[in-house]
Amino acid sequence: MVTAANLATYRRTCLVLVIVVVFYICSFGIMIQKDCYSFCVGRDQEKQCFSSKFAILVYRDDISTDNMPFLHKYQPSITLPEYLFELITFQYNAEECFIGRHFPDVAIFAPQKSCAIVGNGGILRNSGCGEEIDSHDFIMRLNLAPVTGFISDVGSRAHLNLVNYETLNWLYGNLTQKEAGDIKRDEFLNKIRYLNDSVLWYPKSMDRMDTRYNFQSVAHILRDVYHLPIKMAYSWKPVAIEKYFSLRQTATSGFNMYAIARTFCSHITLYGFYPYEEDDQGRRIQHHYYNDMDFMYRGKVHNFVTEFKQLKTIAEHRDDELRLVVDKCSDGESKRLKLRRKGNNTFVNPIFWFRIPKLIS
């Protein structure tokens, strides 16, 4: 027989359970998603924000390769109490995400004064630009081009290395399908070993599972099997800069690198960007500084000539921001660069507020 006392106890128990469930749902079950149009660092007066469209996210050294999903457009969430607290204290902004708080596994690049982007063009062969290239604060290279045997022309230092789709697939194939001791496998490993602790960056889409799997596999082999101090990086949003520069065809890796470098470099010098078979004196130029091949510089996918002309125009009008080297480098002597801080940039005006040249969380 149910007594009034038992009924009252039952009701109180149910009420307590309801309160607990409601409290749990409100505290942990309701999440508020952030849009992440901007990435920010610092707080209050020192807060600096930049466009997430052009952000390179570098996984920290202490992050396991098993925890590197390389997810594009990842939008973090905050709990309802966090949301209410930020709302009450006037700190909430749905479009801002903080590196270190909302993206604790990655770091970003610090601002750089003097940057070099080393293309793979044959114009670099016998240029003697190696010492000048290595004198820059931050050096970027493309598609694991070799430096051994070409140091006097291309230098040896590297901080960031872009790999395109073809290079990623070649790298994956040689690391996973070749046995130890294979010439091609050893060639790729030697290239990467020579890069020291630089960053390997894939800038395009990883929405295809095979692309993400290949990059994750490369990360695992390089870091966990061979224990190389290479860092892995990806773009929060796949790089697509064609509309910003009115390009009718797909941008090349070099042009993509330049476009992203503008967001954290005050002064950029381009080497090895020269899409012609002869120099201005009529001497033949091989396609790459490290090998030769027939190549169409005006193709269906890329138009190297159009990009070069645009870069040349930018260099002529903004010599404090961009310098284009298409000649020998004063017999290898390092030139003194005139560096000035950039003004507002109509392309994108992010600010990376940290020390140079560290990666900062």
pLDDT by residue (tens digit) across 112-129? 999 999 999 999 999 999
Cα angle for residues 314, 315, 319 (degrees, 5° grid)? 120
> How far apart are alpha carbons 149 and 314 in whole angstroms?
32
Q: Give the CA radius of gyration of the chain.
A: 25
Q: Are 222 and 326 members of one domain? A: yes
> How far apart are alpha carbons 105 and 62 in whole angstroms?
9
In three state form, how does the secondary structure of 269-311 look? EEECCCCCCECCCCCECCCECCCCCCCCCECCCCEHHHHHHHH
Domain assignment present for 36: no
Domain assignment present for 23: yes
Residue among 89, 144, 97 nearest 118 (CA): 144
Two tokens, residue 32: 């508020």
**Please, are residues 40 and 47 in contact by the beta-carbon 8 Å criterion?**
yes
**Please, are residues 105 and 60 in contact by the beta-carbon 8 Å criterion?**
yes
pTM of the entire structure?
A: 0.82
> How far apart are alpha carbons 174 and 178 in whole angstroms?
5
For helices 183-193 and 165-177, the axis angle rounded to 10 degrees is: 120
**Cα dist. 100→67, 81, 106, 200, 231 in Å?**
16, 20, 7, 21, 17
> How far apart are alpha carbons 117 and 273 in whole angstroms?
9
For residue 214, the model assigns a pLDDT of 95
Domain assignment present for 92: no
Q: Where in the sequence numbering do the catalytic residues fall?
A: 302
**Please, are residues 50 and 350 in contact by the beta-carbon 8 Å criterion?**
yes
Residue 72 main-chain phi, psi, to 5 deg: -80, 150
Secondary structure letter of residue 65 according to DSSP: G
Domain assignment present for 202: yes
With residues binned 3-state (H G I as helix, E B as strand, rest as coil), the percentages for the chain, rounded to 5, are 35, 20, 45
> How far apart are alpha carbons 269 and 324 in whole angstroms?
6
Q: Are 319 and 224 members of one domain? A: yes
Q: Are 6 and 133 members of one domain? A: no
CATH number (domain holding residue 131): 3.90.1480.20
pLDDT under 70: residue ranges of the chain? 1-31, 85, 180, 196, 331-361
For residue 50, the model assigns a pLDDT of 84
Two tokens, residue 302: 């890329």
Identity at 48, one-letter amino acid code: Q
Domain assignment present for 12: yes
Domain assignment present for 166: yes
Domain assignment present for 97: no
Q: Are 26 and 172 members of one domain? A: no
Q: Are 11 and 132 members of one domain? A: no
For residue 299, the model assigns a pLDDT of 86
Domain assignment present for 62: no
Q: What is the pLDDT of residues 231-279, one digit of tens each?
A: 999 999 999 999 999 999 999 999 999 999 999 999 999 999 999 998 8
> How far apart are alpha carbons 214 and 192 in whole angstroms?
16
Which residue is it, tokens 């020579």?
Answer: 194
> How far apart are alpha carbons 48 and 96 in whole angstroms?
11
Number of domains in the chain: 2
For residue 87, the model assigns a pLDDT of 74
Q: Is 180 helix (H, G, I), strand (E, B) or coil?
A: coil
Q: What range does the domain containing 279 cover?
A: 108-360
For residue 332, the model assigns a pLDDT of 44
Secondary structure letter of residue 150 according to DSSP: -
Secondary structure letter of residue 7 according to DSSP: H
